């Protein structure tokens, strides 16, 4: 790599005597290890890991991101950056994996499985469930943005202006565009920082933030005073519920999906679709929730002409998302029956089953 000599401050030049190695205005460097901000660093590290684990029988599962398994041993693991979440039934198989990794890397172990990717796992094997949480994360976010706990509990993550209820037979129109003043550069940075701070927490723990974040996403490049107020409402909401956790019960790991849509609720006459992905037991009905593994909340890019079109688009999107999930569950040893996908729209249901009259 070459670095322009102008980029080096005088104290660094003097300390390392860089004047003696300048060539055509550049300092030339040889990179021997990983380097931050190198765009291909992740791919290089991944390919290196594949090369080192292949002789021991560990290979990535095709068409998945971060899922690995052994050719013959009943062991699999999920790799996220440098965190390994290992599924095993025999401790000797884990020792085999550790021995393979330690030939190249420094490895630490957590046999209780308490931490991974910033998440805390509290296992209760006797009662057959695990609680997943991020303790202390919300107080740190509130401190970062100097937002105190509201005097009155904030029970909703998404406050909208009161509107008249829709009456059957009347025409539904798109919401009135936001007409409040645009924020300055500091205000824009604050909005984007709040969204960035809550995004992972939302995807990993508290899916109730999704509708609000989905609305803020649409205007965070040019936020207004109303956008900032939504962000503050969101902070008040998480301050009211700072200790949210997810509880997953032991189950047959059967995937089920609830699909829904909201017509003309987003700016520019857009509609919102949602999907509720659960892992249930085969003996229970679809209404018995054992573990919510994913919540989808998206704004349709195109303008649809009716609620039935929005519902059909939501079903199509959720079915697409379900395909890789089904594949990963199967590769982990959880064979899947036909996945139940539920909608509350009769027109969409008839359209999909080719029974529209």
pLDDT in tens, 70-116: 999 999 999 988 889 999 999 999 999 999 999 999 999 999 989 98
Residues 143 and 236 in one domain: yes
- Predicted local confidence at residue 44, as pLDDT: 85
Identify the DSSP state of 170: S
Residues 148 and 199 in one domain: yes
Task: Evaluate whether residue 357 is within a structural domain.
Answer: no
Task: Evaluate whether residue 116 is within a structural domain.
Answer: no
Closest of 187, 164, 205, 172 to residue 310, by C-alpha: 172
Task: Evaluate whether residue 202 is within a structural domain.
Answer: yes
Asked whether the beta carbons of 118 and 82 are under 8 A apart, the reply is no
| Distance, first Cα to last Cα, the chain | 67
The answer to whether the predicted template modeling score (pTM) of the entire model surpasses 0.95 is no
Residues 266 and 344 in one domain: yes
Residues 154 and 230 in one domain: yes
Residues 15 and 45 in one domain: no
Task: Evaluate whether residue 157 is within a structural domain.
Answer: yes
- Predicted local confidence at residue 265, as pLDDT: 82
**Joined tokens for residue 126:** 């006797």
Tell me the per-residue pLDDT of 236-266, one tens digit each, with 9 for 90 and over. Answer: 999 999 999 999 988 888 999 999 998 888 8
Name the stretches of the chain with pLDDT < 70: 34-35, 159-169, 172, 174, 284-290, 356-357
Task: Evaluate whether residue 278 is within a structural domain.
Answer: yes
- Predicted local confidence at residue 162, as pLDDT: 47
Residues 148 and 207 in one domain: yes
What's the total number of domains in the chain? 4
Torsion of CA 174, 175, 181, 183, to 10 degrees: -90
* Residues of the domain holding 144: 137-245
Residues 280 and 334 in one domain: yes
Alpha-carbon span 151 to 140, nearest angstrom? 19
Helices (H), the chain: 10-16, 41-53, 91-102, 137-144, 185-204, 210-217, 225-240, 307-331, 346-352
Task: Evaluate whether residue 339 is within a structural domain.
Answer: yes
Task: Evaluate whether residue 311 is within a structural domain.
Answer: yes
Residues 157 and 98 in one domain: no
Of the three residues 190, 218, 245, the one that is the final residue of a domain is: 245
Residues 314 and 345 in one domain: yes
Of the three residues 183, 210, 245, the one that is the final residue of a domain is: 245
Task: Evaluate whether residue 119 is within a structural domain.
Answer: no
Q: 67: helix, coil or strand? A: strand
Residues 181 and 239 in one domain: yes
Q: What are phi and psi of 23, to 5 degrees?
A: -135, 115
Alpha-carbon span 274 to 297, nearest angstrom? 4
Residues 295 and 263 in one domain: yes
Of the three residues 90, 109, 128, the one that is the final residue of a domain is: 109
- Predicted local confidence at residue 165, as pLDDT: 60
Residues 213 and 275 in one domain: no
């Amino acid at each position: 790599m070459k670095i322009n000599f102008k980029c080096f401050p005088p104290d660094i030049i003097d300390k390392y005597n860089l004047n003696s190695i300048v060539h055509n205005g550049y300092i030339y460097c040889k990179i021997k290890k990983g380097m931050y901000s190198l765009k291909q660093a992740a791919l290089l590290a991944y390919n290196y890991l594949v090369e080192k684990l292949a002789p021991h029988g560990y290979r990535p599962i095709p068409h998945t991101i971060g899922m690995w398994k052994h050719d013959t041993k009943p062991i699999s693991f999920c790799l996220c950056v440098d965190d390994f979440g290992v599924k095993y039934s025999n401790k000797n198989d884990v020792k085999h994996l550790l021995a393979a990794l330690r030939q190249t890397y420094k490895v630490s172990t957590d046999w209780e499985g308490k931490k991974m990717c910033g998440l805390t796992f509290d296992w209760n094997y006797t009662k057959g469930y695990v609680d997943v949480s991020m303790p202390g994360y919300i107080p740190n976010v509130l401190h970062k943005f100097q937002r105190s706990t509201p005097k009155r509990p904030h029970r909703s993550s998404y406050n909208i202006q009161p509107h008249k209820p829709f009456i059957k037979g009347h025409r539904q129109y798109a919401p009135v565009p936001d007409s409040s003043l645009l924020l300055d550069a500091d205000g824009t940075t604050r909005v984007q920082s709040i969204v960035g701070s809550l995004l992972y927490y939302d995807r990993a723990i508290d899916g109730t933030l999704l509708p609000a974040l989905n609305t803020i996403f649409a205007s965070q490049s040019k936020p207004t005073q109303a956008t900032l107020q939504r962000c503050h409402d969101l902070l008040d909401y998480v301050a009211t519920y700072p200790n949210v956790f997810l509880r997953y019960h032991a189950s047959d790991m059967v995937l089920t999906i609830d699909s829904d849509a909201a017509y003309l609720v987003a700016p520019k006459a857009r509609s919102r679709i949602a999907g509720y992905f659960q892992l249930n037991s085969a003996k229970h009905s679809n209404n018995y929730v054992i573990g919510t593994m994913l919540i989808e909340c998206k704004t349709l890019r195109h303008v649809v002409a009716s609620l039935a079109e929005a519902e059909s688009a939501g079903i199509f999107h959720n079915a697409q998302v379900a395909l890789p999930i089904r594949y990963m569950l199967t590769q982990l040893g959880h064979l899947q029956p036909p996945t139940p996908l539920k909608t509350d729209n009769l027109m969409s249901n008839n359209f999909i089953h080719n029974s529209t009259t």
